[in-house]
Structure 1
Amino acid sequence: MATQLGSHKNLPVYHLDSFFWGPGWKPIERNKFIEKQKDIMKKPAWIIDGNYGVTMNTRLKYADTIIFLHYSTTRCLYRIIKRRIQYHGQTRPDMGKDCKEKIDWEFVHYVLKFNKVQSPTILEKLDSVKEKQIYIFKNPKQLRHFFHQIKDISID
């Protein structure tokens, strides 16, 4: 979605996973991760794709538009399985170098708990943000409708 939106709006897109994860799924040092995002946010325009809590408040502060895909747990599990099959043995374009697609219990557990543990905090933060455009989509149909409103492009 971020890539398609960036193409439509002619904006650079930055995927947080692509610089959080180093080769072989090794995470970047926390301060370097934070600094990379600060450097991006100094630019005049950008799209940042990702959901890392450590820098969410800063991103919310500098973003003019926020899109939260608040999909069901079932849909999210389906999508990680689909992604695992689609990119079997490969590194996704939005991922760090040499991070071949995988599913591990830690990630599945994160997805299973996300809507109960993470989402309420995110929604609370979004509710406190003022003077920003905020879109919360609960399913792909809502997202497709949004994209049709801004331009007739398809979203997977």
Structure 2
Amino acid sequence: MCILGPSNSGKSTLANAIARKRGLEAVHLDVLHHLPNTDWEPRSKDEFIALHDAAIAGQRWVMDGNYSVCMPQRFRRATGLILLDVSTPISLLRYFRRSLFETGRHGALEGGRDSVKWDMIHHIAVFTPRNRKLYSAM
């Protein structure tokens, strides 16, 4: 099962809930895409795709995250898709709350600590509205 949606829409929380209820493995793409114990430093594209493809090779999983570079193969293996949507202002509010106050959240990077980053604010404010249309079309 794939869960897509904008940043801070609850994808990881929902993936964990479904995984617990259905006995599935929860796979968080942010964790696969970034190196542990860093400040969200990305892996190489090839390494990320290899980790992604290994995860979808399993029989029973629920995966949260977008990462369109891997969507075709993920969609071929998935038996279900959930598209979450929250408004851009709500997404920004949740981002600030998560970065400033929450610890131990679902899908967090091992050894990392969320912090407010201009690049993430820009991503949520500019790219999320564009991606909303793209994901709906998919």
TM over 0.5: yes
Asked if residue 124 in structure 1 is aligned to residue 137 in structure 2, the reply is yes
TM-score between the two structures when normalised by the length of structure 1: 0.72
Q: Which has the larger radius of gyration?
A: 1
Asked if residue 73 in structure 1 is aligned to residue 88 in structure 2, the reply is yes
Tell me the distance in 1 between the aligned counterparts of 2:82 and 2:127.
17
TM-score between the two structures when normalised by the length of structure 2: 0.81
Tell me the distance in 1 between the aligned counterparts of 2:55 and 2:25.
10
Tell me the distance in 1 between the aligned counterparts of 2:90 and 2:106.
21
Structure 2 unmatched ranges of 5 or more: 1-13
Asked if residue 48 in structure 1 is aligned to residue 68 in structure 2, the reply is no
Map 1:1-156; keep pairs closer than 5 Å. Answer: 1-22=14-35, 23-24=37-38, 25-87=40-102, 92-125=105-138
Tell me the distance in 1 between the aligned counterparts of 2:104 and 2:32.
13
Structure 1 unmatched ranges of 5 or more: 126-156
Paired residues, number: 123
Query: What is aligned with 2:8?
Result: none
More RCO (CA 8 Å, sep 6+)? 2
Tell me the distance in 2 between the aligned counterparts of 1:112 and 1:21.
22
Contact 2:24 2:60 (8 Å CA) reproduced: yes
Task: Please give the root-mean-square deviation of Cα atoms over the aligned residues, in Å.
Answer: 1.6
